[in-house]
Amino acid sequence: MRTERERPYVYVTWLTKLLVGENSCEWAAWFKAHYKDYDQFPTGFDRAGWRLAHTTLSSRLQDELEKRGQTVFTEDQNKFTLRGKVAVFAGKPDLIALYGTGGAIFDAKTGKPQPSHIIQVITYMYAVPRALPQYKDCAFDGKVVYADHVVDIPSSAVDNVFIDNLGRLIRRVGASSPARRVPSHLECGFCPITNADCTARAQAGLIAVAETDDF
């Protein structure tokens, strides 16, 4: 049975695909921002397998950074909560490493590279110095770490355009009026919200196939 949250709560990973257009249904994030403890649709995602692969990659990364003399903070040490006027914004970067005069935020990814992975790290680079007092004056670089390569993100990626886009999306999913609902076969197939809460899921069950003589 779903419970309405006292205050809209927005988690970083609910927004990253929306920010780069990999997903379009803002209503899913709006619903999660306003409700908790709702029944979830089984998506077939292998959470245990993902967790194992992710932990292995993160641990390897942590070892490498510490061997280089860097100070490393992981997962729960990096949890942040940023309170805005319309919503609480929260997240948890995999790794924060401090070295010399600077630092970097790392996120380990086990799947195929996607633009939303980069946006996720830029979002951490924006939020961590604002939410965690110990990093108040840090301009972090970012790194998305895959099994076979690393994508570097300069601190300049947190610019006014990014902050404006992120802020507008948080305001839309944190608003009291529902955000845009965009059912599609692919997106609904990976969405945990059940038909009981989202009646639009059923409409997306079929992909229309038509025939033509044009080619």
**Which residues of this protein are in contact with ligand SF4, per CB under 6 A?**
25, 27-28, 181, 183, 187-188, 191, 193, 198, 200-201, 204
3 state SS for 139-202: CCEEEEECCCCEEEECHHHCCHHHHHHHHHHHHHHHCCCCCCCCCCHHHHHCCCECCCCCCHHH
Q: ∠ at Cα 86 (160, 26), nearest 5°?
A: 75
- Taking the complex as a whole, the smallest distance from the CB of residue 35 to ligand SF4 amounts, in Å, to 12
| Nearest to ligand SF4 of 147, 202 (CB atom) | 202
- Taking the complex as a whole, the smallest distance from the CB of residue 114 to ligand SF4 amounts, in Å, to 17
| Nearest to ligand SF4 of 72, 191 (CB atom) | 191
In sequence order, the 6+-apart residues with CB closer than 8 A to the CB of 53 are 110
| Token pair 């609902």: residue | 181
- Taking the complex as a whole, the smallest distance from the CB of residue 29 to ligand SF4 amounts, in Å, to 9
- Taking the complex as a whole, the smallest distance from the CB of residue 202 to ligand SF4 amounts, in Å, to 9
| Nearest to ligand SF4 of 82, 182 (CB atom) | 182
